[in-house]
Structure 1
């Protein structure tokens, strides 16, 4: 099917529209999407009355949601640069959400229809807010900065619902997985909840869960227009601004401000976490059949404070700073840059076997396990094929950096371990990617959370009856205790290595055994854990 100027204004009955929707199963996602856009954009120019137009919109919602999901999955796995091949897909998805919200909005304009149809205003308001919110969520999904005016459009729709006196009126919504109903203010609060979760720091699965849970938990939150005392730690919202909730301490009290109250939600999350400890499944708590433990519990714990408590004050203030940072994302490259030398397993002779003996015959005997430092680790890293990118500093604090990169570079992912050397530093540190976002001009913004302490490399391997002397060592990192930051000594291991009470053999000059105790952080390619030494 080719894209054409047809907008289906010749369809003259609800049944004709339903037939069009039924026939979409013969098309691929792209063709179905183009058809739905043309159908919606032509609907309000059709001879159908308001009641019939609303019936068409309601009939199309499930199909639209499915097709939109299929389209957005093309770019949701990784941050989407503005000049990428799937940038057009994002624009198409946004166009359809916008057309849907516009269609519902126009049905409520000018008091059209009968008194009976005016009873549908709560539904029209809820749908309009929901789909304006989906525009913003789509940019979260693509890790792209929201377009100017996107938040103001949602605020304006919420204000109109309040003025019409329908903001608290619940309407049937079959697409709401938990409640099968939602009010306009619950649709609004659900979007605000998603925005509070650091959406640019979430992967595809996490963001899908968060969006679903926001719908589930929105009824436990309220937006207050008046409150007894000012709480600087609370979140507030200025409806004239083009953004979501902000700490009141940051934006200050203003006339007409709303205050977010999620204390009831805090109790709900605590109760759910207690249920998890009793073995209750996420699905039985209404979190979704695809939610698995322990990932589900970890994510819910991370949402407890922003959703249910208050705005966490920044532990370390941010400061503007000019300069550049060098970043490496490859595990072995990070080790070389941190230690200044090539990683050589302590049992290299055993693992090489006859190859080691041939080297001795060919090149002469040399000290086993001898590690030679390199003259310039960065030059050596590049020579070995490891990429080192330059990132400009936007601002920084003791705990991390906000950086930007205007040029193409190595691929970088959420929750990934990176090696980073600030322009005023002389040693590489370890950091975790906390969030990523593309600006409209293609600039990639990133938040890097520093792992406390100066890292050192260590050789590590498992222990047990099935582990022999030929078991290879892999490279890990040790981070010392930092008392001033209340940071315990930790070990950073390849991803998936952490199991509570697992015993590992470490080698950094001498061999010793440690027992892993608590998981501190888990990223896409690493586990960070506390440990205790085993005294033999």
Structure 2
């Protein structure tokens, strides 16, 4: 429990005594006490060696309470008007207080030199805590405020200038190595930034941060250009800037304040780990954590191979500035309505029941609506969607590429999740497409930005149900989506099914114009609410279909 009696938090001896008596029963009170200690010592400026002793004694407790506090906003993007904004501000403030404390000790000791043997440790701690403040915004899916990146670059620049950036020091909080240098602490933050942090849920973000520390020793920052490397495909860091890694060609050649991010050794490490996964080696024995299932580890690490192992800044499809408004919806039935132009119903008589002209009758209180209203299909769709509750949100397009959009909206009207299936209609498109949310982020002004990856092909609504000898014909069909093959993008024909449907070689019945049995052959993508799968038609369903007892 936090200390409640009067205490001089600027007195190192009293601080050490208090730290020994702290109990973690009240996280809020304990965090405030730790913040008070850090702030009071900064004001009191005790002897550098005594100040350092208190900070080192507090590190484990600070780490624990900060992680507990962060759980309050890590599960979903944190809007600027949320009640948990104070929590985020407190967590960031304590990280920054720790960073400033180690910087102050270093400056204060510069004249006397009593802590010369601790210069590398002071530098590493400062970089590490400055980086943690930045990463807290990533965890909350909030754009870092102005100056946040500049603070991190400055902390590393000081370590580099003093010649201690590459010196490893003991760090019990580093889960894998139990040691870290200022360079490795700095690279860890860069790796997290390169890992699409705004596209990670709470669990994945925790793994990415741990793995960034795990793989940081295999990366370096170079002040000289690599004549054997295509610099256009490399990341660079501008130590005088206020932003993260960018394509090197955008910020200039290495030298002065520009560094080239070199992860050539990391590529081999990632390949080696993936190979060991295939040989049955557990993630925990590879320093990846005991809480990571092998299949999830392999999928995440594979997605990190390009930005981490290759340090490649090249996009498969260049982005262009966008304008206009896109319609977007995330509800499964709403997506189907806007793609198919009708509400989903069980197949009858060999065809899907319901069509837009029939559904328009809902607008006339049961009377048959007109078969078509020339020149006004969009207005009819909007009216019908409003009547049925299948309403889309409108998002402004920031930029776009062939296979995706960067959107923004304020105020935010629909709650989205990472990797969720959505329907999207671009302003210049007549049809709705299927997409997946790849990242979410709130800006300081309250605007939410979202990245949407578009699934290849024009989707079609079809019906599907599980199929097997033990499954009767009474089992209801569910709405699913069929995507045709897109040879130009090397995308095979696929089905987008409700989440959890995929099992290797499972047979399902798909009803389009008629019923047919197909076998699921591969999982192409998995989101929070869908499985995108490849499939093959069965030539002899009675022979090929396995027995199923239900989903």
Q: What are the residue-to-residue correspondences of 1:431-510 with 2, within 5 Å?
A: 431-510=435-514
Query: Does the residue aligned with 1:120 lie in a helix, a strand or coil?
Result: helix
Structure 1 counterpart of 2:248? 248
Structure 1 counterpart of 2:22? 24
Q: Would the alpha carbon gap of residues 531 and 146 (structure 1) be closer, same or farther in structure 2, given more than 3 Å must change?
A: same
Q: Determine the C-alpha separation between the residues in 2 that align with 1:26 and 1:413.
A: 32
Find out whether 1:392 has 2:388 as its counterpart.
Answer: no
Query: Does the residue aligned with 1:40 lie in a helix, a strand or coil?
Result: helix
Q: What are the residue-to-residue correspondences of 1:93-492 with 2, within 5 Å?
A: 93-112=91-110, 114-229=112-227, 231=230, 232-253=232-253, 255-256=255-256, 257-346=258-347, 370-373=353-356, 374-375=359-360, 376-492=380-496
* 1:112 Cα offset (Å): 4.3
Q: Determine the C-alpha separation between the residues in 1 that align with 2:185 and 2:152.
A: 10
The aligned length equals 516
Q: Would the alpha carbon gap of residues 47 and 369 (structure 1) be closer, same or farther in structure 2, given more than 3 Å must change?
A: closer
Q: Determine the C-alpha separation between the residues in 2 that align with 1:427 and 1:46.
A: 66
Find out whether 1:12 has 2:11 as its counterpart.
Answer: yes
Q: Determine the C-alpha separation between the residues in 1 that align with 2:297 and 2:351.
A: 47
Query: Does the residue aligned with 1:394 lie in a helix, a strand or coil?
Result: strand
Q: Determine the C-alpha separation between the residues in 2 that align with 1:69 and 1:194.
A: 17
* 1:409 Cα offset (Å): 0.2
* 1:437 Cα offset (Å): 0.7
2:62 corresponds, among 54, 57, 64, to: 64
Deviates most, 387-396 or 326-335: 387-396
* 1:479 Cα offset (Å): 0.6
Does structure 2 retain, via aligned residues, the 8 Å contact 1:431–1:449? yes
1:524 corresponds, among 528, 532, 537, to: 528
* 1:7 Cα offset (Å): 9.7
Query: Does the residue aligned with 2:294 lie in a helix, a strand or coil?
Result: coil
Please give the TM-score of this superposition, normalised by the length of structure 2.
Answer: 0.90
Deviates most, 38-47 or 136-145: 38-47
| Alignment RMSD (CA, Å) | 2.1
* CA deviation string 1:331-382 (max 9, x = no partner): 01111111011111237xxxxxxxxxxxxxxxxxx99963232333443333
Does structure 1 retain, via aligned residues, the 8 Å contact 2:165–2:181? yes
Unaligned segments of structure 1, at least 5 residues = 348-365
Q: Determine the C-alpha separation between the residues in 2 that align with 1:26 and 1:192.
A: 32
Does structure 2 retain, via aligned residues, the 8 Å contact 1:480–1:488? yes
* 1:13 Cα offset (Å): 4.2
* 1:48 Cα offset (Å): 3.7
Q: Determine the C-alpha separation between the residues in 2 that align with 1:367 and 1:308.
A: 52
* 1:9 Cα offset (Å): 3.8
